[in-house]
Amino acid sequence: MTDSPSLLDSLRSRRAIAAWRAAARGEGRVSRGQVARLREEARHLRAEIDAFSALADSRLAGPRIDAEAMEMPAQADWGWRPDLWRRAVRPTGAASVQGGAALCEGVKLFHDCPLAEIAWRQVPAAAADAAAPWGVALDVMHFEGRYLSLSLDLPEAGRGGLRTTHILRLSVETGDEAAPEAVARLSLRQGPNTDQVTAALRAERAGGPLVADLDLGEGEVNPRKLTGAWIDVILDRPAMRRVVLRDLTLTRRPRAEM
């Protein structure tokens, strides 16, 4: 564990802050080269500050829920909850979202509606016993497009070692809201080709999460050629709806031998 800042560290920080303020105000004669160096330092500092702010917000503002805990099918060898449901992100939302907009790293919202009357916001868990500390709310007004999808890039840990004997299970928790009609589509980029596996998201029990089993045996998977993999959660008839995805997880398991 890192020690707390000492008095000397605090004094140094104050001097550094004073120096940055002076540079921002243009006090003194600062050369073009010094401005370029200071700008680069500022970018590095901003990245570190933003990373710490996101961690602090997640730990202090978010519910005290284990973001790593999830229900895993029998024999599952990998499980994943994307960052959007694990920790606080910046920005926390946006309105008039254009197609292809990034919600956070690895998560994008795609649509072809020219009106773009779509908004999203990250929301904290509604209950202390919720599975995920954060969720995402989508508000859609008039919608004249053909599709609206949330796209999730699979991390390297999930792509590595994929075989035709694997089944990927997508599980989406919508809470008390009316469950949307949705489809899960897995895309596998292999060289110049992209293979797809699609399955409807359905509840296995009343009040339970929506699940879709994506069987890789339905396509051809060559781990040596696999350069990208992502899953789209495609919402059907999203107009004039508010959809809250309280949790989203993806697990991988081998297909049972017959």
Q: What is the pLDDT of residues 82-121, one digit of tens each?
A: 999 999 999 999 999 999 999 999 999 999 988 889 999 9
User: Measured between alpha carbons, how far is 214 from 205 in angstroms, rounded to an integer?
Assistant: 19
pLDDT mean over 239-254: 92
The answer to whether the CB of 144 falls within 8 A of the CB of 113 is yes
- CATH classification of 78-254 is 1.10.3720.10, yes or no? no
The answer to whether the CB of 182 falls within 8 A of the CB of 172 is yes
User: Measured between alpha carbons, how far is 169 from 46 in angstroms, rounded to an integer?
Assistant: 37
pLDDT bin (cut points 50, 70, 90) of residue 18 is confident
pLDDT bin (cut points 50, 70, 90) of residue 29 is low
Count CB-CB contacts under 10 A for residue 18. 10
Mean of all residue pLDDT scores within the chain: 83
The pLDDT score that the predictor gives to residue 1 is 46
Grouping H, G, I as helix, E, B as strand and the rest as coil, residue 74 is coil
pLDDT mean over 32-39: 75
Grouping H, G, I as helix, E, B as strand and the rest as coil, residue 39 is helix
Contacts 24+ apart (CB under 8 A), 203-206: 203/179
Does a cis peptide bond (omega within 30 degrees of 0) precede residue 5? Answer: no
155, with CB counted inside 10 A (0-12, 13-18, 19+), is: middle
Contacts 24+ apart (CB under 8 A), 62-66: 62/87, 62/88, 62/124, 62/125, 62/133, 62/134, 63/124, 63/125, 63/128, 63/130, 63/133, 64/128, 64/133, 65/125, 65/128, 65/130, 65/131, 65/132, 65/133
Residue 220 has pLDDT above 70, yes or no: yes
pLDDT mean over 77-81: 92
Residue 163 has pLDDT above 80, yes or no: yes
User: Measured between alpha carbons, how far is 241 from 142 in angstroms, rounded to an integer?
Assistant: 9
The pLDDT score that the predictor gives to residue 170 is 97
pTM above 0.75, yes or no: no
**Residues spanned by CATH 2.60.120.260 within the chain?**
78-254
> Can you list the alpha helix ranges (DSSP code H) found in 133-174?
156-159
DSSP code of residue 167: E
User: Measured between alpha carbons, how far is 113 from 96 in angstroms, rounded to an integer?
Assistant: 11
The pLDDT score that the predictor gives to residue 95 is 92
pLDDT mean over 141-148: 89
Residue 56 has pLDDT above 80, yes or no: no
Residue 253 has pLDDT above 70, yes or no: yes
